[in-house]
Amino acid sequence: MSKAESFTGKPWFDASKDSHGYDGHLGTEPHDLAPISELIMKSMESKGLPLDPDMFSHGANPHGCGHVPRTVTNGLRTTGADFITGKNQKNNITILTDAHVDKVVIEKDGDDGLRATGVRAVLADGTVFEAKAKKEVVVSGGAYCSPNILNRSGIGAKEELEKHGIPTVVDLPGVGKNLMDHLIVFIFYETEKPGLTNDHLVYHGDAFNKTYQLWKDEKKGFLSTFPFGVFAFARLDSRLADSQLWNSAPRRAGRDPMGLTPSQPNIEFFTTECYGGPKQFDKFPTDGKFAFSIIAELFRPRSRGTVALRSADPMAVPVVDCGYLTDPLDVEVLAEACRFGNEIVMEGAGTRDIVKGSWPPEESHQKFATREDWIPYVKDNATTCYHASGTCAMGKASDPKAVVDEHLRVKGVKGLRVADCSIMPILHGGHTQMPAYGIGEKAADMIKASWGLKARS
Ligand SMILES: Cc1cc2nc3c(=O)[nH]c(=O)nc-3n(C[C@H](O)[C@H](O)[C@H](O)COP(=O)(O)OP(=O)(O)OC[C@H]3O[C@@H](n4cnc5c(N)ncnc54)[C@H](O)[C@@H]3O)c2cc1C
């Protein structure tokens, strides 16, 4: 993943230099913390999560707190577009926008083989466009859409394709199964102390207009970065030692019931430096009010969902069953994570004296004490971290659920790969943006190797 990165440090940040890349296409930099984040970091340390500044880049610490570099440079977000625009402009790539891929064109290759020879897409005006592949087709529609593209191409579970009148080209039952995501739970608090959070920069009076103008003019201020603050990983072994569900769950040797080794975190915490989040969080603190959150994120969920075809119509959106919290152990671990997060804020050395109560004020979760207290809260408030993955899972030839092999090649069809988060057989502990770039970089190297070209080091 460091291959994609061009990291720029900051004087205050103790970077793990070998863990970063310096000549990739994506600019990254550490985030300057708001005062509330400095206080939460102090609380995390006092509650047994030692500071390890660049732990989210070196990846060797499952229990501590630190800083997460952002894909931002000079006040602008860096994205996949940076690989092919500006100084990285290429003359061997054509981008067709407003083109919706219907299916991969698959033809016979010899007596019993199949080969992907192109792609059929529907353009904005409804016309059908067919692109011919000189060498290969790579599907990168993401975890919600790649399985549908394969399905419409006749690749998937035979009985499901038949329901939509699609002739089966390759009977691959794993397509669209194994949907994974990370669930997060926002826990908001109110503080009366001004100057700690960033709410005054967005919600108070005319502040948002000024903040927006500052970003437009100078690419500085609140909108020049992400509103998340400090991050932490945690193991929960000792906290779950009294859980009957945890203790009685089956496990492999050297693994916990979620399938994690002791060197892998069970959960992540991260914080917001003001109120906000997905659209359901609409109780904005206006003048004189300030709020912040600690967010608990469950790693290695046991629950699984599915992505299926709604119809053979290429424009039909997929049927997604996220399967969230269908495994009771996911609820149990996430509830324990929330309990720990609340203890950090309410008892930790940095924050215990600055919290007025829960936000919005009619809530009282700051008083929750037991795991059982948190279970209904988790069920009501858990929401996606947008880390969908796993629906075209990589696996061994002998694995009937695998969709692609270790070179990302779709089983049963030559010249066809999938390269996006759908290929993850198991969702890693972390966020998915950099792994998505990592999968792209690795796919590029594998494609080059297949065709005798040199990979970029
Ligand atoms: C709101 C949000 C916030 C996020 N924040 C973070 C974050 O802070 N940090 C982090 O690490 N990760 C974050 N993520 C997760 C990260 O962005 C994703 O995991 C990553 O983008 C997945 O990459 P992908 O290539 O698998 O799929 P995608 O990025 O989803 O790419 C798939 C592309 O295929 C296109 N497509 C789909 N079907 C078709 C079709 N039939 N024809 C043509 N095109 C098609 C889609 O439009 C899309 O552009 C966030 C995600 C979301 C949605």
ipTM: 0.99
Percentages helix, strand, coil for the chain, rounded to the nearest 5?
Answer: 25, 25, 50
Smallest Cα–Cα separation from 266: which of 274, 257, 278? Answer: 257
Residue with CA nearest ligand 1 atom 4: 386
Q: Which residue among 67, 182, 200, 387 is the active-site one? A: 387
Decide: 100 in ligand 1 pocket, CB within 6 A.
yes
* Model pLDDT, residue 2: 83
* Model pLDDT, residue 414: 97
Structure tokens at 338: 């929330």
Residue listed under structure tokens 């669209």: 176
Q: Is 413 annotated as a binding residue?
A: no
Query: What distance in Å separates the CA atoms of residue 425 and residue 446, rounded to the nearest whole number?
Result: 18
Alpha helices in 30-114 (DSSP H): 35-46, 55-58
67: annotated active-site residue: no
58: annotated active-site residue: no
* Model pLDDT, residue 457: 58
| Residues 436 and 444: beta-carbon distance below 8 Å | no
Smallest Cα–Cα separation from 145: which of 181, 180, 97, 100? Answer: 100
* Model pLDDT, residue 226: 86
Measure 64 CA to ligand 1 centroid, in angstroms: 29
The sign of the torsion formed by the CA atoms of 160, 163, 164, 166 equals positive
Low-confidence ranges of the chain (pLDDT < 50): none
| Burial (CB count within 10 angstroms: exposed 0-12, middle 13-18, buried 19+), residue 72 | buried
* Model pLDDT, residue 163: 97
* Model pLDDT, residue 112: 84
Q: How many other C-beta atoms can be found within 10 angstroms of the C-beta atom of residue 433?
A: 17
* Model pLDDT, residue 295: 98
Residue with CA nearest ligand 1 atom 23: 436
Decide: 21 in ligand 1 pocket, CB within 6 A.
no
Measure 52 CA to ligand 1 centroid, in angstroms: 30
Query: What are the structural domains, with CATH classification, of the chain?
Result: 38-80+181-304+323-384 (3.30.560.10), 97-179+389-450 (3.50.50.60)
Residue with CA nearest ligand 1 atom 21: 433
* Model pLDDT, residue 227: 82
* Model pLDDT, residue 156: 98
* Model pLDDT, residue 454: 76
Beta strands in 80-224 (DSSP E): 99-109, 113-123, 128-132, 137-139, 155-156, 170-171, 183-191
* Model pLDDT, residue 456: 63
